[in-house]
């Protein structure tokens, strides 16, 4: 009887050793999400395609801000081809929020909106000048450059005074979305978060003109 028990014990050990060796040779490492959540990364894990194990910080940020269960719900509501973009934008938002817990991404919006308005003002002035030249108005004294701007040619539909003016709502035409947000924070200098992309190039390009 004792020998039978020993045999069973050895058999169990052999099975476990065998499965461990199989798992070490055949199994893929868990995705960053499952690793952080300390759970088994099953085939078909919804996080696995988007949170590879070599970038643990990406999921750590997203989990801290949104929570894994909310991310799961969000991804489940999307079609598979949309999920990668969604995850990347969520990771972007989460990172921005980690860097700036008060303003997050919204700080970048404020900076960009001001830039848009500044450019629109420049465009209006340039168009006015061009019109003068086109109509053969020569020898324009410099004081005339301070004529009031033409009517709004802004594609943003922002209009005068709608940025930083405390308007509760304004429309951003390019995005097509109303922006229900008070501008009380709009004049902040706190946000030093630069969104990915070529903001620096844009600033440089603008200065070069």
Partner 1 sequence: MSNKSTRCSACKYLRRKCSEDCILAPHFPATDPERFVHVHKIFGAGNVSRMLQKLPYNEREVAANSISYEAYLRVQDPVYGIAGTITNLQEEIHRKQQELVRIKAEIAIYTAGNL
Residues forming the site for partner 1 (CB under 8 A): 64-67, 69-70, 74, 77-78, 82, 85-86, 88-90, 92-93, 97, 101-109, 112-113, 115-116, 119-120, 122-123, 126-127, 129-130, 133-134, 138, 155-156, 172, 174-175, 177, 179-182, 184-185, 195, 197-199, 202, 205-206, 209
Of residues 12 and 173, the one with the C-beta less far from partner 1? 173
Of residues 51 and 95, the one with the C-beta less far from partner 1? 95
Least distance from C-beta 202 to partner 1, angstroms? 6
Interatomic CA distance for residues 29 and 54, integer angstroms:
10
Of residues 10 and 102, the one with the C-beta less far from partner 1? 102
Of residues 4 and 177, the one with the C-beta less far from partner 1? 177
Answer for the pair 63, 33: CB distance below 8 angstroms, yes or no: yes
Residues 6+ apart with CB under 8 A from 161: 167
Interatomic CA distance for residues 49 and 51, integer angstroms:
6
Of residues 53 and 86, the one with the C-beta less far from partner 1? 86
Least distance from C-beta 32 to partner 1, angstroms? 19
Least distance from C-beta 156 to partner 1, angstroms? 7
Least distance from C-beta 52 to partner 1, angstroms? 20
Q: φ, ψ for residue 180 (rounded to 5)? A: -80, 85
Least distance from C-beta 107 to partner 1, angstroms? 8
Interatomic CA distance for residues 84 and 17, integer angstroms:
38
151 sits in the region (left: phi over 0; alpha: psi -120 to 50; else beta) called beta
- Give me the half-sphere count of Cα atoms (radius 13 Å) on the Cβ side of residue 42: 4
**82, two tokens:** 């949309």
């Amino acid at each position: 009887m004792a020998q039978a028990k020993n045999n069973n014990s050895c058999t169990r050990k052999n099975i476990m050793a065998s499965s461990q060796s199989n798992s070490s040779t055949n199994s893929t490492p868990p995705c960053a999400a499952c690793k952080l959540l300390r759970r088994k990364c099953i085939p078909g894990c919804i996080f696995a395609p988007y949170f590879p194990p070599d970038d643990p910080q990406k999921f750590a940020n997203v989990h801290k801000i949104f929570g894994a269960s909310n991310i799961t719900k969000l991804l489940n509501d999307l079609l598979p081809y949309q999920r990668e973009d969604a995850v990347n934008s969520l990771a972007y938002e989460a990172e921005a929020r980690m860097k700036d817990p008060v303003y997050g991404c919204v700080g970048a919006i404020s900076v960009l909106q001001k830039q848009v308005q500044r450019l629109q003002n420049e465009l209006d002035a340039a168009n006015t000048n061009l019109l003068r030249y086109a109509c053969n108005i020569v020898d324009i004294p410099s004081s005339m450059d301070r004529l009031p701007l033409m009517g709004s040619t802004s594609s943003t539909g922002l209009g005068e005074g709608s940025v930083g003016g405390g308007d509760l709502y304004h429309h951003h035409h390019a995005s097509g979305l109303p922006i229900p947000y008070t501008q009380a924070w709009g004049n902040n200098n706190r946000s030093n978060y630069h969104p990915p992309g070529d903001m620096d190039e844009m600033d440089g390009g603008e200065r070069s003109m």
